[in-house]
Amino acid sequence: MKITDFKIGEKIKIIDVDSIKQGSMMWDNDDIVEIKNVENDGEGYNRLDVWDMDKTLAEYIYPDEFSGIERLDMKKHLFHISLNFAAGVSFEDIIELPDTYTEEEIEEEFKEWVWDQLDTFRYEVK
């Protein structure tokens, strides 16, 4: 892989976190993360700036560390939830998932997405 093979916003998979110098501080193996920036300015800065899982911090991945990542082909899926309240609340989002995901993996992602959309709480009633 070359630095010019990557694009901002592209998703990559961390496959060998130990081959990335600062990798274990940011990611785990099998994390799917987004490229924040591709730096290829010809002055020695040939590197990927890659978000952590929560998109709060980023770390560089240099070309000699590319053995620790894998490029992913992604497919878009529409996730939708509707609730039968008087207001008729509904919400949908387009989610990108690796095109190698099975139906079971897509279903698990959907369940997690639904749970994340709910604003729930519980407490003991006395």
Q: Is the pLDDT of residue 46 over 90?
A: no
- Regarding whether 61 and 29 lie in a shared domain, the answer is yes
90 and 117 Cβ atoms separated by less than 8 Å: no
- Regarding whether 30 and 12 lie in a shared domain, the answer is yes
122 falls within a domain: no
pLDDT for position 4: 82
Q: Dump pLDDT digits (tens) for 71-125.
A: 888 889 988 887 766 566 777 888 889 988 999 999 999 998 888 887 776 778 8
Distance CA 122, CA 91 (A): 23
Number of domains, the chain: 2
Higher confidence at residue 113 or residue 44? 113
Report the range of poorest mean pLDDT among 13-17, 31-35, 86-90, 91-95. 86-90
Q: Is the pLDDT of residue 67 over 60?
A: yes
- Regarding whether 63 and 9 lie in a shared domain, the answer is yes
9 falls within a domain: yes
Distance CA 33, CA 14 (A): 8
124 falls within a domain: no
Distance CA 107, CA 109 (A): 5
30 and 13 Cβ atoms separated by less than 8 Å: yes
- Tell me the H-state helices in the chain: 23-26, 103-117
| Per-position b or e across 29-53, b if 16+ CB within 10 A of its CB | eebbbbbbebeeeeeeebbbebbbe
Residue numbers of the domain that contains 82: 74-117
